[in-house]
Structure 1
Amino acid sequence: MVRPSDKTANNRTPRELNRSLVLDLVQEHGPISRTNLARMSGLTKPTVSAIIEELLESGSVRDVGTESRGGRPARLLEFNDDSAAFLGIEIGVEQTVVAVADARGRLRARLDHPSVQRDPQRTVRDIAELLPRVLQLSGIPRKRLRGACAIVPGLVERPSGVCVLAPNLGWERFPLRAELSRALRMQVPVYNMPQAAAVAEGQLGAARGHASYVWIYVGLGVGAGLVVDGRLFFGMQGYSGEIGHCRVADDGPPCGCGRRGCLETFTSVMALRRAAEAASARSHVLAALARPHDVGALAAAALAGDEGARGIFLDAGAQLARGIAVLLNVLNPQLVVLGGELLAASDILIAGVREALPRHTVRAGDVPVVASPLGSEAGLLGAVQLAREGSVRSLRLVPDSVLQDSAP
């Protein structure tokens, strides 16, 4: 649960806090009566009734009839999934996705479009063209949209939403938030992908119930989303978690950021492709693959027992352990969650991480390292959750200070 601190919670009125609490309880436990809401929330029955009348009027909850267990029948309330819709946008290196979710955050429709390198304005135009199509596909009218959020694989300045650098997209100093907000005619806050994925993991995935954890993307690049004491940690300008561009070798392959020896040059899709091409001369299995540089094919070979392919994933995990070790030593999280394309052979990759971690950190065995159950959807689901939170003002997901960054 990513929640506001006491300080930021104090910026909200008791009425707002009570409303958020009641709405969360209806969403999680409905159909539910006013009496049970009062019992679970600790609020008085008149306070709960007043809040429910407001929520009924807004359409956020609905009356679904009565429940009788002897005595006076109780009216039951449930969350109205159709009361609102939210827009999630994921700008990836290879694909850009525009999705619409209902008020509960469940995806109703999505459209994928090939990403365009080195042309952010074209990307914005493509997203604007996809929006009416995905709304039509979902059957949701535009007037029901209550919030949006976009994510990008790069450095995002807070609170301006400027994409300072996305090396794998070829972007630099692009005002993504401003341009998307103008093109879509609504406020579109921007986060980087691992930050959004960390939010989704805390709500829907392996990190549920954890107050401090790290979510790490290992794919076309490497980056981390950090949750510390129940709050997303951004750093001074929003650049936290960029472990992929930590230098781990004095000399190494060139990186998209302009330097050499960065972590992602040793543990990423491109790193695996280079390793597979080199190993294909020594492995008849890899040499026989139609596309020996394809991560999916390489993972299949590793899972089938080919030692050359297994060695590539084990080595990628060992290299990744160097970056994880820094986070463990500095943050001491409860959990590390891995996501991204390299998790196609998750057991082997994680075995490499676990074997190497003790060489780089203190008490590494105390921190579980697991694969995300959300798969490739983690970032997009996080974007939807952040869009919801910017509108609904639940008690959870992100602190008020972050929502204030996203306000018009």
Structure 2
Amino acid sequence: MDEQPESTRRASSLARGSNRGRLVEVLRRQGPLPRVELARSTGLSFPAISAITSRLMAEDLLCEAETDTGTAPPWSDDADEEDSDGLNGRRRGRPAVLLTMNPEFGRIITVSLRMNLIETLIADFSGSGVAQSRLTLATRALDAGGLCQLVAAQIDAMLVQTATPRDRLLGIGIALQGIVNADTGRLLWSPALSVTDVDLAKPLREAFGVEVVMTNDAVAVALALAAAEPALAQGLSATIMVGHGVGMGVVVDGEARWGAGSEIGHVKLAPNGPQCRCGQRGCVEAYLADYALYRDARTFVDLPPAVSQQPSEAQMALLRQRALGGDPRFEQLFQQAGHALAEAVAATISVLRPNHVILAGPGLQAFDMMRHAYEERLEQAVLPWLLKSTAIYLRPCESTAIVDGMVRRTLRVVDRNHMETTE
């Protein structure tokens, strides 16, 4: 029997890897499914699904999930025999076998680094969180070496806390506030740090021997929101995150694009406007971010000083409480913030023409105080037909959405590495 040409064998291998990837992607998005539903969702034949799932189960990547007999179809899909009703692989009276990602296959760790805060989460292979920690410290006091050592120490501590052996760690995800080169794993600039152009990925990769995935924190939030609401994963979605700073993450059909994130917060509104942390003046962020609102409010009311000019969550809650007292100076402050937010949305719609714009982040807890100014300016700043073509959502999520989204980003890379390994 003649051997297949090398090009044919290589194409066949790539196709198998692609099919494995499609199957795993469906399970990640939809949760546990029977084989027959996997066939429908992937477009693969039932025999192909049976072969792929058998192989993935032998590799411990997949396992059987507990069956909810109240909702599962009343047949088994794990046999190819034809019953008396002519239904191949569907034996009446037996619940379907649901397949899912095997949570015990391994674990990943994600780290969110923002101003004066490091959050760490360890998750199993199904994406479920196992343990989480928060460490407050003066991040701008760290040099490059101290930063790498600190992140490595947080990862080590999480492994010890959960009794996870190092050889069970599959990947590390790092979400950073600022400008990131996701391809090289370098942090180019962050308001949370005094150092620039730091290579975080290489030392972590060498220390733990696993893939290190890096991205901007707004991208991570965009992924978390798209996963929570599947409708937001259809088409192009732009998530504008408002909190410590102002950034944007873009998701196309549920996948992150432009891993570095968009610096929408540094679009200039006025050349002689208020000071921005980037060193320039008049940026969107200089009117809208937490530090800008708190800084400007302290010029006319008595508020406690913020560490490194970054107010805590409690201090921002205090500011919002004081703003409800009817002081017209607060009204003007939040009116300017609403105008800045509208300009950011207008630029996003005009340039990207997204299907969805999601306004997210803890800074949106004050949106009611910005709403009137925001809506008024947005109608002025965008062509009416463009504005109507984009759906805008308000999702004032907590900071934990960053590590949740980073779990999905990291698992996607881990999946790709495992799915491309075929015989």
TM-score range, shorter chain: 0.7 to 0.9
Q: Please report the TM-score for the alignment, with normalisation by the length of structure 2.
A: 0.78
1:128 positional shift: 1.4
1:12 positional shift: 8.2
Map of 2:112 onto structure 1: 90
Map of 2:129 onto structure 1: 107
Are 2:212 and 1:188 aligned? yes
Map of 2:294 onto structure 1: 273
Answer yes or no: is the 8 Å Cα contact 2:361–2:397 preserved in 1: no
Secondary structure of 1:208's match? helix
Distance (Å, rounded) in 2 between the aligned partners of 1:199 and 1:301: 34
Q: Output the amino acid matched with 2:369.
A: I
Answer yes or no: is the 8 Å Cα contact 1:207–1:337 preserved in 2: no
Answer yes or no: is the 8 Å Cα contact 2:118–2:134 preserved in 1: yes
Answer yes or no: is the 8 Å Cα contact 1:252–1:260 preserved in 2: yes
Q: State, as a whole percentage, how many aligned pairs show the same letter.
A: 28
Answer yes or no: is the 8 Å Cα contact 2:169–2:210 preserved in 1: no
1:63 positional shift: 3.5
Map of 2:269 onto structure 1: 248
Judged with a 3 Å threshold, the aligned counterparts in structure 2 of structure 1 residues 57 and 227 are, in CA distance, closer, same or farther, namely: same
Distance (Å, rounded) in 2 between the aligned partners of 1:303 and 1:370: 24
Answer yes or no: is the 8 Å Cα contact 1:303–1:345 preserved in 2: no
1:5-404 matched pairs, under 5 angstroms: 13-26=14-27, 32-63=33-64, 69=75, 71=92, 73=94, 76-79=97-100, 80-115=102-137, 116-117=139-140, 118-205=142-229, 208-228=232-252, 231-234=255-258, 241-280=262-301, 294-302=315-323, 308-363=329-384, 364=387, 366-372=389-395, 374-393=397-416
Larger Rg over CA atoms: 2
Judged with a 3 Å threshold, the aligned counterparts in structure 2 of structure 1 residues 349 and 177 are, in CA distance, closer, same or farther, namely: farther
Judged with a 3 Å threshold, the aligned counterparts in structure 2 of structure 1 residues 31 and 242 are, in CA distance, closer, same or farther, namely: closer
Map of 2:4 onto structure 1: none
Secondary structure of 1:97's match? strand
- Ranked by relative contact order (alpha carbons within 8 Å, sequence separation 6 or more), the top structure is 1
Instruction: Render the CA deviation track for 1:143-189: whole Å, top value 9, x for unaligned.
Output: 22212211111211242122122234223111122233233332212
Distance (Å, rounded) in 2 between the aligned partners of 1:156 and 1:170: 15
Map of 2:80 onto structure 1: none
Secondary structure of 2:196's match? strand
Q: Output the amino acid matched with 1:253.
A: P
Instruction: Render the CA deviation track for 1:189-218: whole Å, top value 9, x for unaligned.
Output: 211111222122221248634311111122
1:224 positional shift: 1.0
Judged with a 3 Å threshold, the aligned counterparts in structure 2 of structure 1 residues 28 and 230 are, in CA distance, closer, same or farther, namely: closer
Secondary structure of 1:375's match? coil
Report the number of matched residues: 377
Answer yes or no: is the 8 Å Cα contact 2:216–2:261 preserved in 1: no
Q: Output the amino acid matched with 2:353.
A: N
Secondary structure of 2:132's match? strand
Distance (Å, rounded) in 2 between the aligned partners of 1:333 and 1:302: 33
1:391 positional shift: 0.8
Map of 2:78 onto structure 1: none
1:330 positional shift: 0.6
